[in-house]
Amino acid sequence: MADVVQYRLERMVHELDDLERRGLFTRQEIAQIVKQRRKFEYRLKRPSPLKQDYLSYIDYEKRLDELRLLRRKAAAREMRKKGNRKMKKSVSDFAGVSRIVEIYRLATNRFKGDVELWLAYLEFCRERRNGRMKKVLADVIRFHPKVPGIWIYAAAWEFDQNLNAAAARALMQSGLRACPTSEDLWVEYLRMELTYLNKLKARKVILGEDKGTLSRDHGDTDEKQWRDENKELFMTLEDKRENNEEALDVQTEESEEKLDLFREHGLSILRTVYSGAVEALPCNFNIRTRFIEILEATDLAHSEEMRKEILDEMKRDFSKAPEYWEWLARLNSKRTEEAIQIYEEAIKVVPSAMMFTLYIRFLRDVIGHRTGETQSSGLFSDSDSTVDPISHALMVYERAESMGCITEDLACQHISFFMELGRLEEARKLAEKLCRGKLADSVDVWVLRLSVEMRCVTNRSGSSSKLDLLSVYELIKTVVTRMAVSEAESLWILALKFFSNQRHCFDKLVELSLVSLTKDGGSDDGFSLSSAIVNYVLQKDGIKSARAMYKRFLALPHPGRAIYKSCIDLESNLASAGDRDGLVEARKSYESALATYDQDVSLWQGYYSLEIKMGTSETANAVYWRARKSLKDNVSLLSSPNL
């Protein structure tokens, strides 16, 4: 290995001598360069070199070559100031790039399956233009023929950089044979063919043999308008127009015939590629939408007929897919009435919850556009005001319910929509009806119903507030007694927040929670109802009431690990703040928790940390040995920095 490394370093002698002779690097800097290269070469000669070894070597050589270029430019400026000739190129100007290419070659030979490494190699060759691009492209295609991005990259280089359209076309066609199911390959092949055709058209225009391009723009209209506004600049041409009128008419007819020829050829290309793509990907909806976008962006002969043909085929093949109707409606979204007609047809063909969801989302977008709450980027027309999207959206919600397509999400949207409109009574009636139907077990619908009831109670006069509060409590009691505590988390949080300032109802809610926790048990992780109640009591009544409250919860058959940790955190914080009772209560909480969860490593670690910070060495050691005995020298405990 040492002989190989020494041989590779000796081959760098001419380059290093040239760098020193030209004054770009000093002898000490060259010695440092040799030292770094020797280190990298030894890394590459290991039995199993890492990819990072190659990348680090490449990165070092790139930075070194950049430094060489900067110093060479500075030396060239000094020579020009002294009146000397331009600095000639020598071996050091090429050695850096050659070495980087060689390292890339070794890396790709070692890691042939790394596409990212191959692409970095290709990018370097493209930027430096060292003449190895074709060979590297051939190698990467040989190793990765099933990667569509490689074929697209190779064709793009041939088309844009090497200016070889025939080679680019051959590469794309080979790629389509290797990856016939690649959507991107089909689309990029069509773009390349149309771009090439447009380049030929532009060349004809530059040579004066033709006019116009295949892209849709308003350049010709703007030019004509400018000429009309500046007629005086073209008076000399007007004088000769009568003599050359017949010749100009003939040239115009010929130019139009050539333009039609190009447009016909473009349509033929699009039709051919589209047919092949549909044959290879008959169930791909997205590729057909991309072809429609390309068709609308280019000016081809009979483009409307081709567009109608594609749309008819899409309707035939994807009429049962909700995304087709969504795309078709959005395509016509500038005319709201037409989009609504499309959605109406869609819910007849595909009467599903997804279709109603897409329909309502569209109407909500229209509402947001008209009220100025959202930016539609030109998707909707302001002139179309014959349709009231709000009433139409409410009607669609009702139709979804009547057709049996209502879902939990749609029901919540319907109730929320009434609330946004300020129609609380209608929202309350709707929520009540839905909670009595098939969505009676939906937590989200119940949360909305309770929110509406609470808002209605808040808006009423104070004379009937106690009765209203009791009615809300009874409603909460009805639903939470039917559900497990873990499922009704959001309901409990909403109820605690609403009744936090109502002592009588809050106490009844606490009693109800004790019954539910006795039946279902407390939580070990995540949401803890008992911890939430303790926090509310602590904020309102202070630490004494909070301690009394959490002791009631700890007396339950299975209080859960979460309430223990909440109590421990509460008492530990108080002890840190100087509360004498806090340390005593924290120790009691730890002992109570460890009586049930004696295999919980985090509890032992927390207990030990508490004794280290606030206890004595004797109490800390006692906790440590108890932990070792209980956990039986658990490896995770012994390796912890806390024990």
pLDDT digits (tens, 9 = 90+) for 11-52: 889 989 988 888 889 999 999 999 999 999 999 998 899 999
Q: Looking at residue 381, what is its pLDDT?
A: 54
Q: Would you state the pLDDT for residue 86?
A: 72
- Cβ pair 616, 600 in contact under 8 A: no
Residue 233 pLDDT > 60: no
Distance CA 36, CA 52 (A): 15
Enter the DSSP assignment of 160: I
- One-letter amino acid for residue 527 of the chain: F
Look at residues 509, 514, 602 and name the one whose alpha carbon lies nearest to residue 553.
514
> How much is the pLDDT for 437?
84
Q: How confident is the model at residue 215 (pLDDT cuts 50, 70, 90)?
A: low
Residue 554 has pLDDT above 50, yes or no: yes
**CA separation for the pair 460, 390 (Å, rounded):** 27
> Residue 386: is it exposed, middle or buried by C-beta count within 10 angstroms (0-12/13-18/19+)?
exposed
CA distance 27 to 33: 10
How far is it, in rounded angstroms, from Cα 199 to Cα 179? Answer: 27
| pLDDT per position as a tens digit, 165-188 | 999 999 999 999 999 999 999 999
User: How far apart are the C-alpha atoms of 317 and 304, rounded to whole Å?
Assistant: 20
Residues 298-348 pLDDT 10s: 888 888 999 999 999 999 999 999 999 999 998 887 788 888 999 999 999
pLDDT of residue 577: 86
Residue 137 forms beta bridges with which residues?
none
- Given this model, what pLDDT does residue 102 score? 94
Q: What are the beta bridge partners of residue 215?
A: 298
Full DSSP string of 102-145: HHHHHHHHH-TT-HHHHHHHHHHHHHHT-S-HHHHHHHHHHH-T
pLDDT of residue 250: 47
Spatial distance between the Cα atoms of 116 and 273, rounded to a whole number of angstroms = 30
| Confidence (pLDDT) at 399 | 92
| The two structure tokens encoding residue 484 | 């497990």
Question: What stretches of 350-488 show up as alpha helix (H) in DSSP?
Answer: 353-371, 389-402, 408-420, 424-436, 443-459, 465-480
Q: What is the pLDDT of residue 82?
A: 77
Place of tokens 């600049």: 233
Enter the tokens of residue 466: 């106690």
Q: How confident is the model at residue 637 (pLDDT cuts 50, 70, 90)?
A: low
Q: What are phi and psi of 335, to 5 degrees?
A: -115, 95
Q: How many helical (H) and strand (E) elements, i.e. helices and strands, does the chain have?
A: 31, 0
Written in H, E and C, the secondary structure of 444-466 is HHHHHHHHHHHHHHHHCCHHHHH
Res 217: pLDDT: 53
| Per-range mean pLDDT, top range of 89-93, 332-336, 349-353 | 349-353
Q: How far apart are CA 627 and CA 594, in angstroms?
A: 10
- What would the mean pLDDT of 268-283 be, rounded to a whole number? 93
Which pLDDT score, from 0 to 100, does residue 636 have?
Answer: 56
Output 239 or 268, whichever has higher pLDDT. Answer: 268
Sign of CA dihedral 29, 30, 31, 36: positive
pLDDT band at 239 (very low <50, low <70, confident <90, very high): very low
241 pLDDT above the threshold of 50: no
Indicate the pTM of the whole model. Answer: 0.74
Burial (CB < 10 A; 0-12, 13-18, 19+), residue 642, is middle
Q: What is the 3-state secondary structure (H, E, C) of 548-590?
A: HHHHHHHCCCCCCHHHHHHHHHHHHHHHHCCCHHHHHHHHHHH
What pLDDT band is residue 201 in, cutting at 50, 70 and 90? confident
The per-residue pLDDT for 524 is 84
pLDDT of 384-440, one tens digit each? 457 788 999 999 999 999 998 999 999 999 999 999 998 999 999 999 999 988 888
pLDDT over threshold 80, residue 98: yes
Q: What is the DSSP letter of 102?
A: H
Q: Do residues 150 and 117 touch, judged by C-beta distance below 8 A? A: no
Res. 585: pLDDT tops 50: yes
Per-residue model confidence (pLDDT) at position 243? 47
- Specify the higher pLDDT residue, 444 or 370: 444
Cβ-contact 472, 459 below 8 angstroms: no
- Reported as a pLDDT band with limits 50, 70 and 90, residue 204 is confident
Under 8 Å CB-to-CB from 341, ≥6 apart: which residues? none
